[in-house]
Structure 1
Amino acid sequence: MSDVQHARERIAEALAPTPLLLDQTLSERLGRRVWLKVESFQHTGSFKARGALNWLRTASDEELAGGLGAVSAGNHALALAWAARRTGVPVTIVMPENASPFKVEGSRALGAEVILHGDINAAWALMHRLVEERGLTLVHPYDDPRIIAGQGTLGLESLEQAPDAQAILCPVGGGGLIGGIGVASSAWRPELSLIGVEPRGAASMAHAWSQGGPARLDGIASCAKSLAAAIVGEHTYPLSRRHVTELVAVDEDAIHRAMRHLLYQAKLVVEPGAAVGVAALLEGGATLPSHGDVVVVVTGGNLGGEELAEFL
């Protein structure tokens, strides 16, 4: 918990708290207040700026000397490129070939070298080679204590902004965000239910739970590319087992319905991976406490016009 609190102190000057917005339609439907934590309003368009900036501000000169490397579907790439540009450190990112063009172009505009290569597993294999060949320092998108601590600052904010919350629904990819929120919520409000939501076609955390540890999925099939981690982390897995109350999976149709709800009812433009928590509520898939407010983490809003058109 002290790591999360120190991370908050480090990044506060550059990253202001994001709003908590009341979803009127969902609130009326569920008979309780449903709040949306809109990280789509954060720097670089997602929560990832929190962890990236905390990592950079705790990095040693030796770690920075050869430049940084990362694998990302896009949001970690944008965040790391933004944070590294503030200190003049070069960044190399490997993204899957099906990565969002909006995120690829945005990362390059921030100064990162972006290499498109294969699927997420092939992208990781290439990055490991580049770390050896170029002497890069790998900044893992989720399985790093400094990244997790930075993401945990979102949990602190949410608990302060919603003092009556009894449940938080959080999208799960590799588990860094829900791990950080779990540290904060267990320390500050241990009775709170922390519910992880995954796409059914990329349910890597549920797979890890069933296998007793991180285990790689053979393939990923979901429109929620920001949650397309093929394997969860050695750090994030035990944090999830310790702090997460329930895991819920939502299918592609549910994600599409949630996207339309956020666009037309909540008036928010977000990416598919950010909509899975709302999908779980619309589908009635999450086990909620009998009373109290609900917070849904809306993780990011980085998508281009062509991508958005698929959900209109």
Structure 2
Amino acid sequence: MINLARLQQAQARIADTLSPTPLVLDHTLTERLGRRVWLKGELFQRTGSFKARGALNWLRTAGREALEGGLGAVSAGNHALGLAWAARQVGVPVTIVMPENASPFKVEGSRELGAEVILHGDINEAWELMHRLVEEHGLTLVHPYDDERIMAGQGTVGLELLEQAPAATAILCPIGGGGLISGIGVAASSLRPALSLIGVEPVGAASMAHAWAQGGPARLERVSTCAKSLAAAIVGEHTYPLSRQNVRELVAVDEAAIRRAMHHLLYQAKLAAEPGAAVGVAALLEEAVALPPEGDIVVVITGGNLGSEELEEFL
């Protein structure tokens, strides 16, 4: 399992290329809740999401043998962008399989960064194809979340926000496959164990809640949500136990709540975030989460990769 030292090593490893992202005070939520609500702006990170952190940490710890046959990944889009960007730094080819309903903005962005992108089926069928490509072409699979080097890179978000928000008593973090919240959980449990780490999922893709209920990772038969970046059908073998160990509570928000949160981020917070990044704000707006009685709240805004057509439906 990853630990604080591995997060700190990852932070030092990527610091020359990836700058810390800011905390932005959400004035409307602060006034509504009577306590400061900070938004951790990972939409300002390279490639528009936190995923560049894990991808760069993975690349910088990979041996020559892992790179020489090229890399492969499955992604709804943000991991594809982060991995394509990081791999381009070292001239390594990348093949990405995305579901057919993937964001056109993310597909084109990944291709512009040099990745070969294949659109195939739903998320489960995309994984089936990638496993065949790995076997047939000798690609090295870079898992979007269930990889300790990826998780350590994502955990640098936690190291940053704990330093930036010394008065925080709660962190709300979106969950897809669980890589980000696992990394943040390691940081929080090591440096501020009394802090409440709360995971937020879409009702139509609550794969971590499903894992908790089943006692381990278990695949959802169907995933349906506008928050495509969180549409993992199954959480990881590594991310599940870390979430059970460090996450205080899981909350699910429905599509209407996500849309209201998107509207809030666009018009009140002035942030063009993507739907998957809005679920933490949705949980606060819906009063769906049990917060500590005092202290600051930090909501991780995971990314902002969406095209004009995708954005239009939330305006």
What is the TM-score normalised by the length of structure 1?
1.00
Alpha-carbon distance in 1 for matches of 2:56, 2:249: 29
How far off is 1:257 after superposition? 0.2
Aligned match of 2:262: 259
1:64-75 to structure 2, matched below 5 A, reads: 64-75=67-78
Aligned match of 2:19: 16
How far off is 1:7 after superposition? 0.2
**Residue among 113, 116, 121 paired with 1:118:** 121
Aligned match of 1:88: 91
Q: Note the alpha carbon deviations across 1:91-138, whole angstroms, 9 max, x for none.
A: 000000000000000000000000000000000000000000110000
The yes-or-no answer on 1:47 pairing with 2:50 is yes
Alpha-carbon distance in 1 for matches of 2:28, 2:136: 53
* Percent identity of paired positions between Structure 1 and Structure 2: 79
Aligned with 2:278: secondary structure?
helix
Alpha-carbon distance in 2 for matches of 1:13, 1:254: 38
Aligned match of 2:304: 301
Moved over 6 A (4+): none
**Residue among 94, 107, 130 paired with 1:104:** 107
How far off is 1:302 after superposition? 0.1
Aligned with 2:251: secondary structure?
strand
The yes-or-no answer on 1:197 pairing with 2:192 is no
RMSD, matched Cα = 0.3
Aligned with 2:309: secondary structure?
helix
Alpha-carbon distance in 1 for matches of 2:148, 2:134: 20
Aligned match of 1:311: 314
How far off is 1:70 after superposition? 0.1
**Residue among 203, 211, 214 paired with 1:211:** 214
Aligned match of 1:181: 184
The answer for unaligned runs of 5 or more in structure 1 is none
Aligned match of 2:225: 222
The amino acid across from 2:281 in the alignment is V
How far off is 1:163 after superposition? 0.3
Aligned match of 2:131: 128
The yes-or-no answer on 1:231 pairing with 2:234 is yes
How far off is 1:152 after superposition? 0.3
Aligned with 1:186: secondary structure?
helix
Aligned with 1:194: secondary structure?
strand
Aligned with 1:143: secondary structure?
coil
How far off is 1:32 after superposition? 0.2
**Residue among 134, 148, 152 paired with 1:149:** 152
Q: Note the alpha carbon deviations across 1:144-167, whole angstroms, 9 max, x for none.
A: 000000000000000000000000
The amino acid across from 2:119 in the alignment is L
**Residue among 19, 31, 36 paired with 1:33:** 36
How far off is 1:210 after superposition? 0.1
Alpha-carbon distance in 1 for matches of 2:66, 2:300: 32
What is the TM-score normalised by the length of structure 2?
0.99
How far off is 1:48 after superposition? 0.2
Aligned with 1:15: secondary structure?
coil
Aligned with 2:24: secondary structure?
strand
How far off is 1:268 after superposition? 0.4
Aligned with 1:294: secondary structure?
strand
Aligned with 2:72: secondary structure?
strand
Aligned with 2:13: secondary structure?
helix
How far off is 1:245 after superposition? 0.2
Alpha-carbon distance in 1 for matches of 2:289, 2:180: 19
